[in-house]
Amino acid sequence: MIKAVMVINTFGKPRLSKFYEFQPVEKQQELIRHVYTVLSNRPDNVSNFIRSLGAIFGPDTRLVYKHYATLYFVFLFDNSENELAMLDLIQAVFVETLDKCFRSVCELDVVFNYSKMHIILDEIILGGQVLETDSVEVVKAVEEISKLESTTSAGTLINKSIPSWWAR
């Protein structure tokens, strides 16, 4: 089971975090900080897997991360998941979907479309289990939801119209 998904930038700011096992807010922040400390000290040429994370994550917790430009994508999970598959889930499903939704995603997309990020994540992982692995399918579902939001209410939050100069 996946325990948590985190997107942290290279300065340690959380950009997205979702915990599938209950953690109090303080603990969540502590975990994010801890993960960031571990990741920021890792050189580039090493494996993407970490098993010895320390006691605060509980026993048997594993971590898979992928470093893209200014962001770390981090999945924490227990020993029932396949590490290599989790890596594929990050790069071939999650990030690819983001790329399709935001047209080559960058940190600013993630920051300003906080709520849309959650829609996407919820279409990929539900309750710590993998829900869908086809990014086309995910994008379709996300678009349906977005359409529904904009048609039923004026108070839309998901503003796709971030000027392109913002995204630089």
Partner 1 sequence: MNPFSSGTRLRDMIRAIRACKTAAEERGVVRKECAAIRASISENDPDYRHRNLAKLMFIHMLGYPTHFGQMECLKLIASPGFPEKRIGYLGLMLLLDERQEVLMLVTNSIKQDLNHTNQYIVGLALCALGNICSAEMARDLAPEIERLLQFRDPNIRKKAALCSIRIIKKVPDLAENFVNPVAALLKEKHHGVLITGVQLCADLCKVSAEALEYFRKTCTDGLVKVLKDVANSPYAPEYDISGISDPFLHIRLLKVLRVLGQGDADASDSMNDILAQVATKTESNKNAGNAILYECVETIMNIEDNGGLRVLAINILGRFLSNRDNNIRYVALNMLMRAIAVDSKAVQRHRATILECVKDSDPSIRKRALDLVCLLVNETNVKPLTKELTEHLEVSDPEFKGDLTAKICSIVEKFSHEKIWYIDQMLKVLSEAGNYVKDEVWHALIVVITNASDLHGYAVRSLYRAVQKARDQETLFRVAVWCIGEYGEMLVNNFGRLDIEEPTTVTESDAVDVLETSIKIHSCDLTSQAMCLIALLKLSSRFPACSQRINNIIGQYKGSFVLELQQRATEFNSIIERHQNMRSSLAERMPVLDEATFSGRRAGSVPAAVSTSQGVSVNLPNGSAKLSTAHVADLLDLSLDDAPAPSSSGGEFLQDLLGVNLMPVSLQPGHIYCVLYESFRMLFLNYNSDPHIFSFSPYYWYLLTNANQAQKRGSDVLLDLLSIGTPPAQSSPSTPQVLSSNTDNRSPLDILDRLSTPSAPSAQVSSTGGNSSMLDLLNGLPSSPPTSEGNGPAHSSVTAFESSSLRLTFNISKQPGNPQMTLIDGSFTNKSQDVFTDFIFQAAVPKFLQLQLDPASGNSLPANGNGSITQKLRITNSQHGKKSLVMRIRISYKVNNKDVLEEGQVSNFPRDL
Q: Which of 38, 106, 130, 167 binds partner 1 (CB under 8 A)?
A: 130
- Does 136 help bind partner 1 (rule: CB under 8 A)? yes
Q: Which residues contact 166 (CB under 8 A, 6 or more apart)?
A: 108, 112
Q: Which of 9, 10, 28, 70 binds partner 1 (CB under 8 A)?
A: 28
Contact (CB, 8 A) for 59 and 34? no
- Secondary structure (3-state) at 116: helix
Nearest alpha-carbon partner for 114 in 22, 14, 1, 2: 14
- Does 149 help bind partner 1 (rule: CB under 8 A)? yes
- Starting from the edge strand earliest in sequence, which strands make up the sheet with 14-19, in order? 14-19, 2-9, 71-77, 62-68, 49-50
Q: Which of 60, 103, 144, 160 binds partner 1 (CB under 8 A)?
A: 144
Residue ranges that bind partner 1, judged by CB under 8 A: 14, 16-18, 20, 22, 25-26, 28-29, 32, 45-52, 80, 82-85, 87-89, 92, 111-112, 114-115, 118-119, 122, 126-127, 129-134, 136-137, 141, 144-145, 148-149, 152-153, 155-157, 159
